Homo-oligomer: A and B are copies of this chain.
Amino acid sequence: MSVLSFNPIGIIKTPYIDTAPYQPIEAEDQEFYLELEPHYIDGLRELDSFAYIYVVYFIDRLTTSPQMTVSPPWAAGQQIGLFASRSPLRPNPIGLSVVKIKKIIANRVYTSGLDVFDNTPLLDIKPYIKDLDSKPEANNGWVDAAADSDHLALHIQGIPHDY
């Protein structure tokens, strides 16, 4: 199939220069924001009427090729299909995060924690619409059956812990 091309609409600013957590752990003094190129500013109108948004980005710090199965942390070596995981190493390294909007100032959208490196290329912002996107009858799939599912759940929910 043909190659598709995309142009970033901005960058994501985070405190993570060299290392990033598995899931965002937000300290009091840390800032996370999406900085759009100025000509996209009108596209943000009414965005702050939403509590949550999807952030779509390009995972640009990968140095190895994706494997079709992965062994997630705290899953005791269990082999999971790549598409059943949220591993960043994917054939198309498109990242997706659900975050809270804190405030919008000009071309900056301040959000809750985002587990991406500073200056990550931003591809899209979409409103997270409760009636469309919140699925109370969803499940956690293999995660709930993983060897240390309680520990994995802390990471997935971004809950700080010491072990």
Task: Identify the A interface with B (CB < 8 A).
Answer: 1, 3-9, 23, 40-47, 49-52, 54, 56, 58, 68-69, 79-86, 90-92, 94, 96, 98, 121, 123-143, 145, 153, 156-157
Contacts and interface: CB of A to CB of B under 8 A. Distances in A.
Contacts of A138: 50-52, 128-130, 133-134
Interface secondary structure of A, over-half rule: mixed
Nearest to A80: B46
Given A56-B96, A94-B94, A84 B49 contact: yes
Contacts of A131: 140, 143, 153, 156-157
Nearest to A157: B131
A32 to B, nearest CB: 17
A156 to B, nearest CB: 5
Nearest to A9: B91
A6 to B, nearest CB: 5
A40 B83 CA distance: 9
Contact of A7 (B42, B91, B135, B136): B91
Given A68-B42, A69-B43, A121-B1, A84 B50 contact: yes
Contacts of A58: 4
A138 to B, nearest CB: 4
A51 to B, nearest CB: 5
